[in-house]
Amino acid sequence: MATTKKNVGSDDYALSRVPRDKRLGFWTMLLQWLAQSGSISQFTLGATIGVGMTFGDAFLAFTLGAVILEVVIFLIGMAGMREGLATPLLTRWVGFGRNGSALVSFIIAVSLVGWFGVQNTIFGNSVSSLIGGPSWLWCVVAGLAITVLVIFGFRYMAIFAKIVTPLFFAMVAWSVIDALSEHSIGDLISSPPPGETIPLAVAATAIAGGYMTGAIVAPEMTRYNKKGSHVFLQTASSMILSEYIVGLTGVLLGHMVKSNEVSQIVLSTSGVFGVLVVLMSTAKINDWNLYGSSLGVVNFFQVVFKKRLHRGAVTIALGVAGTALSAVGIMTHFTEFLSVLGVAIPPIGGIVVAEYWVVRKMRKPLDETREAGTLPATSPTWVPLSLVIWAAAFCVGKFYNGGIPALNSLATAFILYSVLGLLGWIRTYGTTTLTDDEAEAVRPSAPERTPVGAA
């Protein structure tokens, strides 16, 4: 007698397209995007920049960062929406080939687990300084709570966003308005930076580069969108909220306290309720870090080890690892972490955008299978020149001193791939057929039950 293998949580189309009838509505997806805009770390980033820049210069830095991010998020997000594919799977047919997608998956997964640790560390330190107790304990509490949520997948994360997002911004608005009410906003805007000057390029790189991983993995979210117009409106709204409202408010707070230690301002006037809301908002940011990392690991193991892992089980392993990283203090490497991301991740986006929207040679199998909702039966095995372009773009961003490193590396990858691709120099080598496990994953299955309020 055959037995049915049971897995924990939802696999969430980790190795297949999201069917059209499983896509979600505009307001549900908008709340998911807005939930990514609000976090204590974004206030801290704004305050850090404010300590070293005038308000006007900070406004320019956030504008540069927001424009870079929005262009990348929209173009990559549109590809994810059209194909219904997450970034790790999408790159098999868009720029990197099957084996190259494993490398992309690995780097993205490691980066997102790192961000998971960063967010947890911020929360742990903030709550510890406010109400006591070791910060590592609060990191463990937050990490385990997030892991439990992400195990059950996207639709439950959408329900959680509907609850947390309005509460977080209402609580933050109350705390910040109360803190700023005793100061002249005009004086804070015109005041000189209280600390050592931060160059515009450094600030813009911290803004755009630090969140570039989120831009590259936008398809993890947009694959659940129904329309391209929804992708634009939702991502633009998220940028406006996170950069111009949350980020610049952090700048004002930095000028007010002359330090980047502003998390206590948000927490201290809110009491136990505020701590609870910040815990939930941290979960709402970190659920995406953990979710995207789990998808990357599933693709990596499928390609490298030919082993089909269930996304729910992967989530448990990554959640424990990320929680441990936060407990041992990954936040001490926060600046270095942002700098590396600022030049290592953007070239992936540049290559994906160039292939999908400009060169359009590798994506033909996706075009042919899109309406059927299946994956192409084969994928290119290697695209060696893409890896060379990626390495070259990283070197430009890392070692060229002019301009903004995140933009330099992204633009270098986009231009090189576009030019060489249109000249016909970028070629694929080898062909790989879907494994039995992958073919099984893309076959139609029984419809999943949608939780009330998720659609």
Q: What is the pLDDT along the chain (455 residues), one digit of tens a residue?
A: 444 456 777 889 999 999 999 999 999 999 989 888 767 778 888 888 988 999 999 999 999 888 888 999 999 999 999 999 999 999 999 999 999 999 999 988 888 887 788 778 877 877 787 777 898 898 898 888 889 989 998 888 888 888 888 888 887 788 788 778 888 888 888 888 888 888 888 888 778 766 777 888 999 999 999 999 999 999 999 999 888 888 888 888 888 888 777 766 766 655 666 667 767 777 777 888 899 999 999 999 999 998 989 999 999 999 998 888 888 877 656 657 666 776 788 899 999 999 999 999 999 999 999 999 999 999 999 999 999 999 999 999 888 887 777 788 889 999 999 999 999 999 999 999 887 666 666 655 444 443 333 33
Length of the chain: 455
Q: Domain limits of the chain?
A: 20-441
**Closest to 40 in 3D by CA, of 284, 255, 230:** 284
Give the gyration radius of the chain's Cα atoms.
22
Other residues' Cβ atoms within 10 Å of the Cβ of residue 261: 17
Which residues are CB-neighbours of 392 under 8 A, at least 6 positions away?
Answer: 412, 413, 416
Both structure tokens of 425: 């120099």
Coil, strand or helix at 378: strand
pLDDT tens for residues 297-328?
999 999 999 898 999 999 999 999 888 888 88
Tell whether pTM > 0.95. Answer: no
Question: CA–CA separation, 217 vs 231, rounded Å?
Answer: 14
Which residues are CB-neighbours of 292 under 8 A, at least 6 positions away?
Answer: 86, 87, 108, 109, 112, 217, 220
Place of tokens 């107790």: 133
The C-alpha angle with vertex 353 and arms to 400 and 392, in degrees rounded to 5, equals 30
C-beta pairs of 356-359 under 8 Å, 24+ apart in sequence: 356/75, 356/79, 356/94, 356/95, 357/75, 357/79, 358/417, 358/418, 358/421, 358/422, 359/417, 359/418, 359/421, 359/422, 359/426
What's the CATH class of domain 20-441? mainly alpha
Inter-CA distances, 112 with 22, 27, 38, 309, 325, Å? 25, 26, 17, 19, 12
Question: CA–CA separation, 208 vs 199, rounded Å?
Answer: 14
Give alpha helix (H) positions in 305-383: 311-327, 334-344, 346-353, 364-369
